[in-house]
Structure 1
Amino acid sequence: MSTCESRTDCGRPLNSEAEANYNLRLRHPDALDQMAAWQRYAAQARAGLAHLPDLAFGDDPDERMDVFPAAQAGAPAVMFVHGGYWQAGDRRDVSFVAPELVRAGIAVAANNYSLAPGATLDRMVAQTAKALHWLRRNAPRFGIDPHRLHVMGHSAGGHLAAMMLTAHGVNQGEDGGELRGAIAISGLFDLGPLVGTSINHALGLDAATARRLSPAHQTRASAAPLYTLVGGDETEGFHAQSRQIAAHWRDVHALPPVTGRHHYDVLDIFRDPDNPWLAAVTEVITR
């Protein structure tokens, strides 16, 4: 997150409405505690679940992936893209999404990508596509059916997941494959509102770049469906983001909002084997 004060973006006036909608550290003062809990849950998941860590899908040190295979060969798979507003987070922080999905017969991969301000958003999109291509090419190594590959992401990761359905990502890719589907949890599909917020200090987006890298302003290049999910207690900005992508693209399916959950604890659905929203996500991936 930006180190600038909440009312200015390093001297530039902020859009107060957008700041209230998207500066989630201000809205949720316990966000760092929530993220620390994720890391504990994730460490427990890695300790208790067979997996292949630190797999290189490219030459950059950031281009690494962990894979949690399913028990049976020919499994569907989902690559989970972490959030952090493109400037924080790590694949290991979200390992806790894997155990219940693996128990349901789904192989799970979690990828890293380079972060701002050292990397541009274009680079992150390209790295996410590279990770998906690599995972498909190497699917037999992990018992994955390459024709049942999904991508799922949270927050900024939801944006990157949706971008995989545009020409910037994976469509009729170099390996001739096609995604089965994308799932965006608390996703960002129109980056325009972020330009006037403190979040943009590290990203350096202008209006034109934000539009070019916004799924809600891009032509869809994949026939794979997009599923969206938000917490019921998210800000109006995030609810509006999901409505906007549904209005712009066909074959967008909004799962019911997760009752009583906000931007951070919405991911708790993956830790509850009886959670109906986890069941809905599992059904999307295994159908």
Structure 2
Amino acid sequence: MREEMDRAYDNGGFIPGAADYPPRWAAKAEAFRDQLGPRALLGLPYAAGDRNWLDLFLPEGMPRGLMVFIHGGYWLRFDPRVWSHLAAGALARGWACAMPAYTLAPAARIAQMTQEIGAAIGAAATRVGADAGGPIVVTGHSAGGHLSARMACEDAPLPGPIAARLRRVVPISPLSDLRPLAQSSMNDKLQLQPAETLAESPALLARRAECEAAVWVGGQERPAFLWQARLLSEAWGCAWHVDPGKHHFNVIDGLEDGTSALTGAVLDGL
């Protein structure tokens, strides 16, 4: 079973040139931050932990609202500065974009990461004034898709005024049911126990009715990710969109472009 689950969730093993993506992303992210200059507020703390910080990117003029992007990496690796450039689409539409770091496994359990993301959203929203009336939208990719979906659940750890302004979540290629991950070799570090898989799986939890949701996934992703996306959309009764020809590593590219269908799914109508 473990070998079967490892294969099911092995994205890089089925994407040509997979190893080239992280350095390419990191180079684009660094160039984006440099170009943005003083509108890139880096390393803002939201709690006391070493990884409890976020980067906040501001548009020209007063932000229309706040988009939060949560990075992936199976809760085990990376930090948000690999994907800073994905804020470009939101900024082009006049939205601020926050990208939080969070404590990774095995130093933290997924339940702790959920709490940290809630705190990060509250801190970022307060910083840009979204707690005074502007809308908040949360998106994220893969493990970040899981954490973005958790923010729409009825038990999400968001302060009341912030939760009231969370208008939409758009999980991208999310891990919505953690039970299969507990049977993979990743669980040597994740240390998922049965109770936690139930408590932290968005597809097994109720969504707040006032928070919209839409699920996005690439058409060329592993079958397990197509299943995870469809499962969440069915459990929550929300739309899901299969992006033709996109795999797990390029399905997020649309966030760079303010006119893309993905950016539209995140921000249109708000």
Cα displacement (A) at 1:228 = 0.8
Matching residue of 1:188: 175
Question: After alignment, is 262-271 or 61-70 more displaced?
Answer: 262-271
Please tell me whether residue 36 in structure 1 is matched to residue 23 in structure 2. Answer: yes
Q: Which residue of 1 aligns with 2:76?
A: 87
Residue 215 to residue 79, structure 1, CA distance change in 2 (3 Å):
same
Quote the Cα distance in structure 1 between the aligned partners of 2:163 and 2:220: 40
Asked whether 1:197 is paired with 2:184, we answer yes
| Residue of structure 2 in register with 1:262 after alignment | 247
Question: 2:61 matched to which residue of 1?
Answer: 72
Amino acid at match of 2:77: A
CA displacement at 1:114 relative to structure 2: 0.2
* Equivalent position of 1:253 in the other structure: 239
- The answer (yes or no) to whether the contact 1:100–1:270 under 8 Å persists in 2 is yes
| TM-score, scaled to structure 1 | 0.86
Q: Report the alpha carbon displacement of residue 29 of structure 1 after superposing the two structures with TM.
A: 6.1
Tell me, what secondary structure is at the counterpart of 2:134? strand
Partner Cα distance (2:118, 2:239) in 1? 22
Q: Indicate the RMSD between aligned Cα atoms, in angstroms.
A: 2.1
Paired AA for residue 19 in structure 1: D
Misfit runs of 4+, over 4 Å: 143-146
Measure the CA separation in 1 of the matches of 2:194 and 2:157: 24
Q: Which runs of 5+ in 1 are unaligned?
A: 1-12
**Structure 2 residue 223 is the aligned partner of structure 1 residue 233:** no
- Count of residues in Structure 1 that have an aligned counterpart in Structure 2: 268
Q: TM-score, normalised by structure 2?
A: 0.91
- In percent, how many aligned pairs have the same letter? 29
In structure 2, relative to structure 1, the CA distance for the partners of 1:221 and 1:104 (3 Å cut) is closer
Match for residue 199 of structure 2?
212
Pair 1:42–1:197, CA change in 2 (3 A): same
Tell me the amino acid that sits aligned with residue 232 of structure 2: I
Aligned residue number for residue 126 of structure 1: 115
Note the C-alpha offset of 1:137.
2.5
CA gap of 1:254–1:145, structure 2 versus 1, over 3 A, is farther
**C-alpha deviation, 1:235, in angstroms:** 1.1
Letter of the 1:262 partner, please give it.
Answer: H
SS class of match (2:69)? strand
1:164 to 138, 144, 151: 151
> For residues 81 and 185 of structure 1, what CA distance do their matches in structure 2 show?
10
Give the aligned partner of residue 40 of structure 2. 51
Q: Is the 8 A contact 2:122 2:158 kept in 1?
A: no
Query: How many Å apart are 1:20 and its aligned residue?
Result: 2.3
Bigger shift: residues 215-224 or 55-64: 215-224
Give 1:258 deviation, angstroms: 1.7
CA contact (8 A) 2:219 2:247 kept: yes
- Post-superposition offset of 1:21: 2.0
1:6: which partner in 2? Answer: none
d(CA) in 2 for partners of 1:51, 1:101: 14
- Assess, with a 3 A threshold, how the Cα gap between structure 1 residues 276 and 177 changes in structure 2: closer, same or farther: closer
Counterpart pick for 1:24 among 5, 8, 11: 11
Specify the SS of the correspondent of 1:147. coil
Match of 1:5?
Answer: none
Match in the other structure for 1:173? 160
